[in-house]
Structure formats: structure tokens, C-alpha cells
């Protein structure tokens, strides 16, 4: 069981910088998500932890020991590949026993260990089968089994559910999380699916363009995004950005949007120029008497809620409201924002302005 510390890690492939100086800490036993769009450097980061790529600079600590430049065999880290990478010329049993054989474990012990893991994963009945004919779920289980069989210090998973169909994914995600909770081993999990990250992770690192944008608990990241990218990437529909031009000062609690005064969490820093008023769709109320008004452009019915698209003086806004609340296309309604949930961004840097809401989260971001 292990704590993993990533310190100023950078990776270059020739002229291309895959990961820029990144730092974060994965605590012992955490289910840790590396989240970001494709090409953001999350998989490279994972591969560097596992030793499949060596960092160009920076350090990686596993249980306080610097392992950045060591070969994977000396790291005691398991890896679950996106396409599973089961050895196709071996049957399930051989696949599972392969990591143990490399350690020179006696045969009887290997047998017992494989048996135990197969029981945990419910794949005892397919041990003799070749891996070629297995279903996606069984392949996934064998891949997991091969990872957990030698009880490594940590697990790396590269979009392990990516190859499964949607229906089965959900089920496997639960199984995976349950397995993690049972083993209590540190797990680092790469995904581009923000829902998967929120659903399974204890903590999330959001990466974009080779940079760590934010790192923290799923709820903190959702409620208090550190950058506009995070705000946009997480949540569906994503956070509304109301653009305005103005000046805010430290300690202020009000901003002016299209001549309307809105209250925001008390600011801890000031800014001026192009600013953005960020609010999640579910934090918008529609009321007839609001002074800030918008015209309903479209409604999307989603069962318990509906998404209303509105045209406001500061751009298009999506609001998530209860589906029994009437909203007609073409009518003009008043919008109310929940002041406690608003995040202001400086558009030129894309960063959130510190306020009483998010200062605790941004401090270690």
C-alpha cells in the first residue's frame, strides 16, 4: 500500500511536451482519477508512474522512495491496459500466474494465489480457457486478476472500461470500485469520462494541454472549479459562462451584469477587464419577477429535470429546472442565481478569482 507523490514531472517526446511540470499527491489507499480530454497527458503521466515512460525531469516518489528512473519491474506497480493486453498465447490461468512466475514463486503457492484471485473475481470456471474467446467482461476480470494477483503497491488503470459497451461499463465500474474498497490499494485511474471520474474517484486530477488544471475531491472540483477549462469540462450541461466587462475589488460581494447587480461570494482578490460570471445550470432559478431576464430558446425534457436554453444579455445560458415547472419557448422569464455557488473567472488567464467560496480548494490546487 502506497502513497505516490508526483513532483514537477515533465515529459517531452522530441519537441512535443506531453506533460508540463506537474505536481500532485496520491494518498495511500485512494482511488485517484486522472481526467482530461484525449491528448492532455493523463496517460503519459500514468505510464510514467508505472515506469513505461521515463520522465524527462522531475521526481516520482512511491512510499517516500524516488522511483522516477527505475524500470517497471523494480516498482511493484500493476497496470491494467485499455485493451487488456492479455497474453493471447496463454490461457486464463497462465495469464494470471505470469506475474507470479516472474518472481520465482513456488508452483503450489502460485496455484493457491491464482485460485484465490479467481474466486474473488468469479472467474474460476474459465481458468482453463484460452483468452481469445472470452467476453469483454471476462477479459476485463482476467486483466484485473493479473494486476491484483501479486498484491502490488499500487494499481494503474488506463481507461479500463473504455473497451466495454455502455451497459456493461456501469456494472464493471461498480465491481471495480468494490474491489478497490476491499483491497484498499492505491489506484490511479485514467479516464476522459467526467461522469466515470466523479462516480468512482476519491480524488480527481483534471489535466489539459499537458498541464494539471486542478486536483481535489470530485465535489470540490465540481462546485469550485479552479479554471474555466475545468468548469467547462466537468458537468453536463457544463457551467454557464456569462461574459461581462468590469472591475471587481477585493472584499466585494456584488458585481454588475447588464445593469443588474448580482451578489457573489466575497472576493479575496480583485481583477478588471474581461470577466466571466460562472454558474452551474442547476443553480439558476426561473421566476416571473426577476430583474435579469432572458428569452427561452429551447427546452429539453430529461425526465426528472429539464434543460432550458435562454438568451440573456450576456450570452446563451442553460438552466436545469424541475420538469414540472412550465417553460414555453419564446417567453421571457426572470433569472435568479444562487449567490453562494457563483465563481468569477478572469477571462484573460482563465483562472477563477479567489473568493470565500473557493479559497480553501484553490489553496492546494
Shortest CB 102 distance to another protein, Å: 4
Backbone dihedral angles phi then psi of residue 270, each to the nearest 5 degrees: -105, 165
Please identify, among the stretches 65-73, 122-130, 258-266, 299-307, the one whose residues bind another protein according to the rule CB under 8 A: 65-73
Give the DSSP H or E segment for 337: strand 332-337
What x-and-dash track marks residues 11-40 binding another protein by CB under 8 A? ------------------------------
According to CB under 8 A, which residues from 99 to 158 bind another protein? 99, 102-103, 146, 150
> In the block, which residue shows the cell 489553496?
363
- Asked if residue 77 binds another protein (CB under 8 A), the reply is yes
Out of 81, 168, 312, 339, the only residue in the binding site for another protein (CB under 8 A) is 81
The reply to whether 189 sits near another protein by the rule CB under 8 A is no
Say whether residue 50 binds another protein (CB under 8 A): yes
- CA distances 132 to 101, 114, 117, 168, 283, Å, are 22, 19, 20, 19, 50
98 touches another protein (CB under 8 A): yes
HSE (side-chain half, CA atoms, 13 Å) at 322: 3
Q: Which is nearer to another protein, 17 or 198 (CB)?
A: 17
Residue 225 as a binder of another protein (CB under 8 A): the answer is no
Q: What is the Cα–Cα distance from 61 to 359, expressed in whole angstroms?
A: 28
Cα 117 to Cα 114: distance, rounded to the nearest angstrom: 5
Angle of CA points 176, 78, 67, to nearest 5°: 135
Rounded to 5°, the CA angle 62-66-70 comes to 95
CB of 138 to another protein, least distance (A): 17
E strand intervals along 192-330: 203-208, 211-216, 240-248, 254-257, 260-263, 271-279, 284-287, 293-301, 305-312, 315-322
Q: Please, what is the minimum distance in Å from the beta carbon of residue 174 to another protein? A: 25
106 or 303, CB closer to another protein? 106
Q: Are 185 and 176 in contact (CB under 8 A)?
A: no
CB of 314 to another protein, least distance (A): 48
Q: Is 85 in the site for another protein (CB under 8 A)?
A: yes
Report the nearest approach of another protein to the CB of residue 243 (Å).
Answer: 45
Kindly list the residues in this chain that would bind another protein in the complex (CB under 8 A). Answer: 50-52, 71-73, 77-79, 81-83, 85-89, 98-99, 102-103, 146, 150
Amino acid at each position: 500500500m502506497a502513497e505516490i507523490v508526483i513532483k514537477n514531472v515533465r515529459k517531452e517526446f522530441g519537441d512535443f511536451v506531453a506533460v508540463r511540470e506537474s505536481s500532485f499527491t496520491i494518498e495511500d489507499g485512494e482511488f485517484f482519477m486522472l481526467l482530461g480530454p484525449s491528448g492532455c497527458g493523463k496517460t503519459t503521466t500514468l505510464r510514467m508512474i508505472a515506469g513505461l515512460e521515463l520522465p524527462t525531469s522531475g521526481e516520482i516518489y512511491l512510499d517516500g522512495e524516488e522511483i522516477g528512473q527505475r524500470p517497471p519491474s523494480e516498482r511493484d506497480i500493476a497496470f491494467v491496459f485499455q485493451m487488456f493486453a492479455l497474453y493471447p498465447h496463454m490461457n486464463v490461468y497462465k495469464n494470471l500466474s505470469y506475474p507470479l512466475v516472474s518472481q520465482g514463486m513456488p508452483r503450489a503457492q502460485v496455484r493457491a494465489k491464482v485460485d484465490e484471485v479467481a474466486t474473488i473475481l468469479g472467474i474460476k470456471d474459465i481458468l482453463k480457457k484460452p483468452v481469445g474467446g472470452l467476453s469483454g467482461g471476462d477479459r476485463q476480470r482476467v486483466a484485473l486478476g493479473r494486476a491484483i494477483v501479486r498484491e502490488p503497491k499500487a494499481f494503474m488503470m488506463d481507461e479500463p472500461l473504455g473497451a466495454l459497451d455502455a451497459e456493461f461499463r456501469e456494472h464493471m465500474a461498480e465491481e471495480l470500485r468494490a474491489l478497490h474498497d476491499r483491497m484498499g490499494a492505491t489506484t490511479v485511474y485514467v479516464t476522459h469520462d467526467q461522469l466515470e471520474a466523479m462516480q468512482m474517484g476519491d480524488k480527481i486530477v483534471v489535466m489539459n494541454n499537458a498541464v494539471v488544471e486542478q486536483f481535489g475531491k470530485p465535489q470540490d472540483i465540481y462546485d469550485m472549479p479552479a479554471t474555466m477549462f475545468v468548469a467547462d469540462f466537468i458537468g453536463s450541461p457544463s457551467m454557464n459562462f456569462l461574459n461581462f466587462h468590469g472591475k471587481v475589488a477585493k472584499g466585494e460581494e456584488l458585481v454588475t451584469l447588464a445593469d443588474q447587480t448580482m451578489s457573489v461570494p466575497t472576493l479575496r482578490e480583485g481583477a478588471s477587464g474581461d470577466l466571466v460570471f460562472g454558474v452551474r445550470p442547476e443553480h439558476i432559478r426561473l421566476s416571473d419577477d426577476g430583474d435579469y431576464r432572458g428569452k427561452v430558446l429551447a427546452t429539453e425534457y430529461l425526465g426528472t429535470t429539464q434543460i432550458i436554453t435562454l438568451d440573456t444579455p450576456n450570452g446563451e445560458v442553460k438552466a436545469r429546472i424541475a420538469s414540472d415547472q412550465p417553460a414555453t419557448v419564446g417567453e421571457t422569464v426572470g433569472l435568479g442565481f444562487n449567490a453562494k455557488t457563483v465563481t468569477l473567472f478572469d477571462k484573460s488567464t482563465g483562472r477563477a478569482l479567489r473568493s470565500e467560496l473557493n479559497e480553501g480548494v484553490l489553496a492546494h490546487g
